[in-house]
Structures are given as structure tokens and as C-alpha cells.
Amino acid sequence: MLLSKAWELYESDKRIEGFSPQTLKAYRLQSKLLIQQFGDVNIESVTTDQLKEYLAKSSEHLKPSSLAHRIRFIKSVFRWSNEEGHISKNPATKIKEPKQGKRIPKFLTEKEIELLREACFTPMEKALFEFMFSTGCRIGEIVSLEKNSINWSNRSAIVLGKGDKEREVYFNIRCEIWLKRYLDLRQDKDPAIFVTERHPHIMSIAQMRYIIKRISSRAGQGSTKKSILTNYATAMPRTY
């Protein structure tokens, strides 16, 4: 059975089991990447060594949380394929997820992070800062983010990066809490995650940059202001 066919059957089964559309969307992206790596080969021909090599290469550019999600997808698909009788042996059985430590951005100290948190006054500001802090996304990726891009079951989101390439990012529990509070308070029907404060509609890059500068200014002058402005406001991707 080809990898593409195995994915189609797996997706159908998981949809029946009640997997959320967001989870299936995230897994669909992982299936495309898997097929790009190996080609649309017979799933029986994929070996443990090939999977380990693929994941080792992935670890060079993925955060531990993103790598762990890719591994969970691979283990799930191959376990299902084995249980359904499509492969005689599961090559992903002994593959383990990476250890994950708490990630602190190099350009901000813990003190600076707490000062910035204190400088966030509204649920929208808190949600925006926590999303930026936990995912590492740039403003250009966040402005286009829509509600249906969020997968609450595993605290992830599909964002559109440079060259219109989709990638999956992960946020922490603190971010989840503030995102939900912010969205619950909104009365508008705009699909965007973050909208303008007056006459709600999707924010522009300039509007979001202004909010970040406002938070930074409240947090005080010096290194805190400089670091957050340099990394989130002024270092914008020029393709957006």
C-alpha cells in the first residue's frame, strides 16, 4: 500500500473516531512532509533507520515540541497501519520523543519577560504577548492567523510563513488561557485571532507593531524595550 493511500485510510478512520479538524489538518501537513521525504512508496518498505534519519534531519531545524509532534504522528500512523494489517512490522515502535525543557528566548531575561507581562493590561495584549513568547512567531505570521488555525487539543497552530509555506507552532498553557479569555470576550464574528480594538477587524502589521511598542513602553526604557522592539517590531519579514 502506498503512503498516500495509507494516509487516506488513516484519516478516514480518525475522523470517524472523532479527531478534531485541527488535529487532522496538522497531521495532513505531516503526511505531506513524510511523502516528500520518502516519495509515495509502499509503506511496507519504510524502515526504522530511514525514519530515524528523517527525524535526525528534522531535529536540526525543529524545536523539541515540534519534533515531538512529528514523532507522535509517525508513531500513530505506523501503529495504525500495523494494527490494520497493512504492514507486517511497525518500524516506529522504538522511536522515542525528545526531552523538552522550558524555552526562554535568548534575547529576553526572565526579569524582562515578567516586566513585559505586567505591562500587558488587556486580555488581548496578554494573549498576543504570550503567543509571541511561546511560539516565537513574528508579527507577519500572527496577523494572518485565523481561529480555525488553532488546535486546542495539543495547543498548536498552523501559521503561514515566508514563501506562503505552512508550519506548525506550539504555545503553552498560559497562552492557551489568555487566548481563550480574549476570544470569549469578543463580540465580533471576524475570523482573525487578533482584531483591532475599535470596530473589530483583522489587524495590519503596523497596528500590531504599535501594540507591541505600547507594551514595551509601559515596561520601561533600557534593555527590555530595546530587545522586544528589535526582535518583534523592527525585524519584520519584508515579504509580508
Residue 217: the pLDDT is: 86
Do residues 73 and 26 both lie within one domain? yes
8 A C-beta contact, residue 170 and residue 65: yes
Residue 225: the pLDDT is: 45
Residue 28 grid coordinates: 495532513
Do residues 141 and 218 both lie within one domain? yes
Q: How many domains does the chain have?
A: 2
* CATH number for position 9: 1.10.150
Do residues 119 and 199 both lie within one domain? yes
In a domain, 95, yes or no: no
Do residues 149 and 224 both lie within one domain? yes
State the first-to-last Cα distance of the chain, in angstroms, to the nearest integer.
41
In a domain, 97, yes or no: no
8 A C-beta contact, residue 173 and residue 155: yes
Q: In the listed set 32, 48, 83, which residue is the last one of a domain according to the structure?
A: 83
pLDDT tens string for the chain (240 positions)? 999 999 999 999 988 888 778 788 888 999 999 999 999 999 999 999 999 999 999 888 887 878 888 998 999 999 999 999 999 999 999 898 776 554 444 456 777 788 888 899 999 999 999 998 888 888 888 988 888 889 898 888 888 766 667 788 899 999 999 999 999 999 999 999 999 988 888 888 888 988 988 888 888 744 444 445 445 444 433 332
Q: In the listed set 48, 83, 118, which residue is the last one of a domain according to the structure?
A: 83
Do residues 118 and 31 both lie within one domain? no
CA–CA distance, 143 with 140 (Å, rounded to integer):
6
Q: In the listed set 67, 83, 99, which residue is the last one of a domain according to the structure?
A: 83
Residue 99: the pLDDT is: 66
* CATH number for position 183: 1.10.443.10
Do residues 66 and 123 both lie within one domain? no
Record the pTM: 0.55
Domain that holds residue 44: 3-83
Q: Sheet holding 166-170: strands in order across?
A: 150-151, 156-160, 166-170
Residue 153: the pLDDT is: 86
Do residues 77 and 119 both lie within one domain? no
8 A C-beta contact, residue 140 and residue 205: yes
Among 152, 186, 167, 119, residue whose Cα is nearest residue 19: 152
Residue 107: the pLDDT is: 58
Do residues 146 and 226 both lie within one domain? yes
In a domain, 11, yes or no: yes
Do residues 69 and 136 both lie within one domain? no
Residue 105: the pLDDT is: 44
Residue 84: the pLDDT is: 92
